Amino acid sequence: MSTRTQESIAAAPVPHAIGDALGRRVVVERIRPDIDGGRFPIKRTIADEVVVSAQIFVDGHDVVAAVLQDRHTDRQEGPWHETPMALVAEGTDEWTAWFTAGEIGWHEYRVVAWVDAFLSWRRDVAMKVANGQEVALELIEGSRLVSDAAERCAMDETAVAEADWLSRRAKVLAARSPVANRVALALDEELALRASRWPDRSRATISQVRRAWVDRRRAGFGAWYEMFPRSAGPDPHRSATFREAAAALPRIAGLGFDIVYLPPVHPIGRSFRKGRNNSLTVGPDDPGSPWAIGSEAGGHTAIEPGLGTLEDFDGFRKEASRLGLEIALDLAFQCSPDHPWVREHPEWFRHRPDGTIKYAENPPKRYQDIYPFDFGSADWRGLWQALLGVTRFWIDRDVRVFRVDNPHTKTFGFWEWLIGEIHAEYPDVLFLSEAFTRPAVMRYLAKSGFSQSYTYFTWRNTKAELVDYFTELTTSEVVDYLRPNLFANTPDILTAYLQGGGRPAFEARLLLAGTLGASYGIYSGFELCESRAVAPGSEEYADSEKYQYRHRDWDASGGISALISRVNQARRAHPSLQIDRTLRFHATDNDSIIAYSKTSADGRDRVMAIVNLDPHHTQHGFVETPVDEDFFTVRDLLDDTVYTWRRGWNYVRFDPFFRQGHLLWLPTPRA
């Protein structure tokens, strides 16, 4: 370097922050898990382990040390908890450590790394001694390093004794005693342990803080059942009340469900009310769609008069709670033309050039009975606050789970704000995103705070489709923020597979939903294998419950209630079925048969599902089993049958009219 260049560098002013950063030799990069460079938090449920990795390295050959720091913020910044990071393998520069998400709410984590001068010195001394080199000066250097560690230790009032211990060792290293004795002290394991506890971190590299949102356990595991309470009464010609609908709850609880999801329970508008099968012709007794919210009886904080009163709703919720069920309410942020807000706040809606309010459309579908909000209106702040108030209203009535209707048609920033506001007061509240839309949009909504997300599972039927999709959901970075909820059907979605596959199709989809996903759901009538569409090529149910009362005979033959009960029993009994991250697919020699397993976080429980995807024909073949034993027994959790299998490939056969799959409890892996 020329003298002129050296002078130029010396004279150039270096901003303090930049100079400070340049003085830090250790590089920390590629921290995982990480969502968009820390823009969004990762998600975990309480008691989950958060495994953090990072690429950490330094120029030259000095020894690097690093810790993972984490803390639960709870609105206040408390002290950091530290966990030493370990090098995964020599030559990789990949370091890792983990912490436990011990409380609901916000957690932070970061990586701190530095050059450890003492450990670098100790390593070099050991190498020189092994090669017969003189180390007298190095011992004096080490004395200073240990003395510095003693000074840092002395600043901690609880470590005075250790500071004295280190000071005495520092003096011995510098003394004129035999070199061999001092070398032995330099390489002493206890000295290394104690000195390393007090490193010089004045030039440590501290990574950007990453955030984690920790939910209660139900965010990661649960079985949902969707029902229309107005159909759950003794009279098929009128709406059931909440008091009458409560009689349906023991049956649902008996099937093993955890959450009962209710479509909107608010007053339904009269203007442009839809008739049976979404007809524009309306009879005097047609109840209309619950998603056309608002009438002279009130809006989003009122109860549809046919269902009763708010007190009746409270009684329904309490009965559900007594049975071990949670109630999930639908947040459908839209209005019927009769909603009080249409009159009181016309500025919250979009208008046509002639001044009339625009109704909802999703061409070619038209929803004349629904007015969507304008989330960017001139008074958007007033609208947002009103909708926050609606959410708080139901939380105050002890609702802690919400299914959100079509969130992708509302401003993304609104959801990030609303969920953040709610979680600041009620961190146990869960939000399910009902967004069957483009992948990027679904992912962004999940990043924005939704606890769970609907998925494309509903339309994934072949082995290749299922393997590809669930490999993405459980092994890519998506696993850190998008929790899938696998609904097998909805009031809007009756797939062609279910329409044409009969009872075996319902059995297959139930097995897949309940075992591929830690969270899954069905819509009422699935257990009866209801499969009639309104028209060929349509996914709409005939006589859709969205537009009329449906009175069902729950004791009718041909249903799959017993299978649903067994699947839910297995899910509750086996921790391996309560998580998604350990999902692994296994080879089969028949593409009509899919096989996969899950292992619990502690490795003590392992279950394997094998499902016939063909609802029409008997399928058979061999399945590769992930058990490293010559012979072993497996028990089918669906019927308690025990089989003796062997290492490697095993034969299976499925007759759709007898059995559509196995759910096998496998021996746990050997330690």
Active site residue 434: yes
Q: Which of 617, 614, 654, 650 is nearest to 634 (CA)?
A: 650
Q: Give the separation between CA 284 and CA 609, rounded to whole angstroms.
A: 50
Report in angstroms the alpha-carbon separations of 128 from 60, 136, 185, 403. 18, 11, 15, 67
Measured N-to-C along each axis, helices 136-154 and 189-196 cross at an angle, to the nearest 10 degrees, of: 50
Q: Which amino acid is at 334?
A: Q
Report in angstroms the alpha-carbon separations of 457 from 324, 450, 486. 27, 18, 6
Cβ-based burial of 539 (10 A; exposed 0-12, middle 13-18, buried ≥19):
middle
Q: Which of 592, 664, 600 is nearest to 632 (CA)?
A: 664
Number of other residues whose CB lies within 10 A of the CB of residue 265:
25
CA dihedral 514, 517, 519, 521 (to 10 degrees): -50
Report in angstroms the alpha-carbon separations of 117 from 122, 123, 138, 142, 202. 9, 10, 12, 9, 12
CA dihedral 319, 325, 329, 330 (to 10 degrees): -140
Q: How many CA atoms are closer than 13 Å to the CA of 506, on its beta-carbon side?
A: 23
Strands of 474-579, DSSP E = 484-487, 519-523
Name the pairing type of β-strands 365-367 and 326-331: unpaired
Contact in structure between 652 and 610 (CB atoms under 8 Å): yes
Check 304, 369, 434, 605 and give the catalytic one: 434
Element (DSSP H or E) covering residue 147: helix 136-154
Check 319, 326, 405, 545 and give the catalytic one: 405
Q: Which of 574, 588, 594 is nearest to 635 (CA)?
A: 574
Q: Which residues sit opposite 235 in a β-bridge? A: none
Tell me if residue 241 falls in helix, strand or coil: coil
Catalytic residue numbers?
405, 434
